[in-house]
Amino acid sequence: MNVLLVYAHPEPKSLNGALKDFTVQRLQAAGHTVQVSDLYAMNWKAALDADDAPERDTNRPFDASRDSKLAYAQGTQAADIATEQEKLLWADALILQFPLWWFSMPAILKGWVERVYAYGFAYGVGEHSDSRWGERYGEGKMKGKRAMLMVTTGGWDSHYSTRGINGPIDDLLFPINHGILYYPGFDVVPPFVSYRTSRMDAAKFAATCEELGVRLDELWSTRPIAYRQQNAGDYEIPALTLKDEIAPGVEGFDAHTR
């Protein structure tokens, strides 16, 4: 299988750097082919702006969606964007690896998503009408591929439990798992999260690698998070609210998981 690891940490000698090296070695030892997009090493441009559509009509104001759509359709996107899209099409599985920074991904990785997820590539795909709202949430160009988050946190696991002060980790990661990965069609497996990293020492690192190794070995057999497909009958169209008879009484993020 082909695995794309998109890695966002500025320091190669960090914990994340060590976990990235472990991941690459483990996957390769199992016979997989791995490409790493090491965003800091690549000096990845994080800001989506007019330079991403270098041949756009400069007589019109820059429009992030419209110019993305045109550049993607016409094959005139910035070269770094097109290269990352090719890697995504090549991959059977995508891993996004990052330290939790302010309860989300580092800005450089958010910028990778904003720029690489072009209109027509990751959104605006398929028929859009009153009876159909495109191919997304379980459908789209990434359908049939798997995705997983690899996250490290300073906070303890209890801080991220269902009654923990930081909020449940599944809720914090929902916008990434559901909104960024499931949206263009990935089957998303539960995240690998390493908590309380300030307490990392050789023994904890060995245990973390042991646990991570199993998750990598089982990447293709782990049951994905059972998000509800947009076009499988659970939602009213075009309102895109759950039908009254689906998960009655359940609201918020939980309602969108079967």
Shortest distance, position 93 Cβ to ligand FAD, whole Å:
22
| DSSP secondary structure code for residue 37 in this structure | E
The answer to whether residues 145 and 187 touch, using CB atoms and an 8 Å cutoff, is: yes
Q: How many residues bind ligand FAD (CB under 6 A)?
A: 20
On the 0-12 / 13-18 / 19+ scale of CB atoms within 10 A, 165 is exposed
CA distance 191 to 2: 19
**Residue 79 or 202 with smaller CB distance to ligand FAD:** 202
Binding to ligand FAD by residue 173, rule CB under 6 A?
A: no
Decide whether 15 or 78 has the Cβ nearer to ligand FAD. 15
Region 8-67 residues binding ligand FAD, contact defined as CB under 6 A: 9, 14-16, 18
* Among the residue ranges 24-32, 146-154, 181-189, 234-242, the one whose residues contact ligand FAD (CB under 6 A): 146-154
**C-alpha gyration radius of the chain:** 19
In the bound state with ligand FAD, the residue whose beta carbon lies nearer, of 62 and 205, is 205
Closest approach of ligand FAD to the CB of residue 36, in Å: 15
Residues 51, 78 contacting (CB under 8 angstroms) = yes
Binding range to ligand FAD, per CB under 6 A, among 7-15, 41-49, 64-72, 130-138: 7-15
The stretch near ligand FAD (CB under 6 A) out of 65-73, 88-96, 198-206, 226-234 is 198-206
Cβ–Cβ under 8 Å, residues 67 and 52: yes
Cβ proximity to ligand FAD: between 201 and 251 the closer is 201
Tell whether the torsion through CA atoms of 139, 144, 150 and 156 is positive or negative.
positive
State the minimum distance, in angstroms, from the CB of residue 152 to ligand FAD. 3
* Residue 16 or 23 with smaller CB distance to ligand FAD: 16
The first and second tokens of residue 76, run together, are 């005139």
- Do residues 93 and 147 make contact, with C-beta atoms less than 8 angstroms apart? yes
Q: Minimal CA–CA distance to 33: which of 24, 42, 41? A: 24
Tokens at 151, concatenated = 């996250």
CB proximity list for 54: less than 8 A, separation 6 or greater: 71, 76, 78
Q: Is 208 in the site for ligand FAD (CB under 6 A)?
A: no
Placement of tokens 């359940």 in the chain: 250
Q: Cα 40 from chain centroid?
A: 17
Answer yes or no whether residue 198 interacts with ligand FAD by CB under 6 A.
Answer: yes
Of 148-167, which residues contact ligand FAD (CB under 6 A)? Answer: 152-155
Residue 103 contacts ligand FAD per CB under 6 A: yes
Q: Which of 1, 24, 200, 255 binds ligand FAD (CB under 6 A)?
A: 200
Minimum Å gap between C-beta 161 and ligand FAD is 13
Binding site for ligand FAD (CB under 6 A): 9, 14-16, 18, 99-103, 152-155, 197-198, 200-202, 205
